[in-house]
Chain A
Amino acid sequence: MCESPSENPPNDGRAEAPGQTRRQFVTRVAVTAVGATAIPAVMQYEAGATDAAAGAAHSGAVQKIDIKLRINGSEHALAIDSRTTLLDALRDRLGLTGSKKGCDHGQCGACTVLVNGRRINSCLTLAAMLEGDEITTIEGLAQDSALHPVQEAFIKHDAFQCGYCTSGQICSAVALLKEDHARTDDEIREWMSGNLCRCGAYTNIVAAIREAREKKAAAL
């Protein structure tokens, strides 16, 4: 988790073919590892294979649901297993991998996205619950080619090291400013407590949010 998001991923020239992204490579290796059945990891998850032992005695029916999700201004029609969380739908079905899976239990905030402008943990939200809602992810914050002011402030203040928590931090901070809960540094710290940073970039995160707040106030 210590890569720098601003650099290209490391490529030692042996494993990856030219022109292949790291994500494509990782996905291909995962599929190969499954062996002859070659079930993509996504399908395996959705079939609940990892829970098979625990679920055998209890399981109800597997249900496929047709839903339409409105994400970053576009509508996406999906047929999903009822168990699919918003986070898994975003990352594994729609390729919106900016939202990160950290703990997957609502404890770290890396999966934070906005639903109708409010921040939530997408890992504890079933995708099926959100039909008709307006979902905004980190990919939807920039307008055309202009970064969101909070994104700019994070870059300016170097408010990250490895970058894994950053998309969640930024989405959370965007909502924080809208809530008007960033009036003091103490308030920023308290109201950003749902977003953990293992690298400990907190000082710079607070500085970035402070600046975004001041710029927002100046623009009003």
Chain B
Amino acid sequence: MTPFTYSRETDLAQATQHLAGNPRAKLLGGGTNLIDLMKMGVETPAQLLDIHRLPLAQIEALPDGGIRIGAMARNSDTAEHPLVIKNYPLLREALLAGASPQLRNMATTGGNLLQRTRCPYFYDPAFSQCNKRRPGSGCGALQGYNRMHAILGQSEHCIAVHPSDMCVAMAALEAVIRVRSGKGERQIAFEDFHRLPGDTPEKETNLAPDEIITAVDLPPLSSSARSHYLKIRDRASYAFALVSAGVVVELEGKQIKMARVALGGVAHKPWRSREAEQAMQGKEATPDVFRQAAEAALAGAKGYEFNRFKIELAKRCLVRALNVATAIA
């Protein structure tokens, strides 16, 4: 690790000031990704602002029936919270499908949102090409070993994927991210938070440099909504997704009243598929309809030398997630 100064932040307003005044400062939550990247020499902050003790770890019910998850709530605490277990089992499933128990005890909501890609060409500075790490240097993955890489929304500048499971569930749950800076508070719809790579893959979110995530709000979900998170990976546990699907479905009899679909492991951001949702809207919940939805979701997919299998895998993953959620198969 390159040298940095460490400060323990005890006040949110002060922390926003410290962040705004120092473009080379980074916020430290659980450290599971940042410390690792600092060891690799990918992240080289001059200052670490340790915000993990700020009073932002609460998980509480909102008057509208939703919940607010504090930015410093640990992934394990969120997964075990009674309100999450009762009202948002999709989020619990996604959280428990991610990382290991140790890492979930450390990882925070805010840190998980800002997790960086596990693309090996980004993660290891021994590779000279990475537009995300060194803008303009090229993409090592395009012609390299791209088995884990993107099939949707990618650009010729970057085919990295977002690694989070939690974020896939939050995309399907239409979460809202609350952020704070010296200028005040604002809210960001989940779909607008992460970015596609385009020609600036180094910019991964629409969070301003002086903003701190304070919480994630989940809107209320009908008690009749069914959901499922399905993660396909190389090992039975403790591995990043090849592909994953988070689905929420509300049925009226056999008819699909509402469906929300998000895919993981396929794009630079958690991939909300409105195409899949529209393909199911008002139709009967059958495996054929689910397959049509999957075809719609992956219609624009493009594979590379080693990851073409992910296109069909993502379709089957989505169909199975919908089958399980609606208890058809």
Chain A: residues with CB nearer than 8 A to chain B?
48, 51, 54-55, 58-63, 65, 81-83, 85, 104-106, 109, 112, 118-121, 124-126, 128-129, 131, 172, 175-176, 179, 181, 189-191, 193-195
Contacts and interface: CB of A to CB of B under 8 A. Distances in A.
Given A48-B3, A104-B39, 10 more contacts: A59-B2, A59-B46, A60-B5, A61-B3, A125-B31, A126-B48, A128-B8, A176-B101, A189-B236, A193-B238
A136 to B, nearest CB: 14
A54 B101 contact: no
Interface residues of B, number: 34
B105 A60 contact: no
A55 B41 CA distance: 8
Given A105-B39, A120-B106, A124-B36, A194 B5 contact: no
B4 A85 contact: no
B24 interface: yes
Contacts of A120: 102, 105-106
B302 to A, nearest CB: 31
A51 B2 contact: yes
B5 A61 contact: yes
Interface in B26-79: 28, 31-32, 35-36, 39, 41, 44-48, 50, 52, 76
Contacts of A105: 36, 39
B24 A194 contact: no
A124 B106 contact: yes
Most chain A CB within a 10 A radius of its CB, from B2, B50, B99, B102: B102
B238 A194 contact: yes
Nearest to A108: B100
B137 to A, nearest CB: 16
B32 A83 contact: no
Interface string B105-135: 1100000000000000000010000000000
Contact of A59 (B3, B31, B99, B102): B3
A63 B101 contact: no
A125 B30 CA distance: 8
Nearest to A115: B105
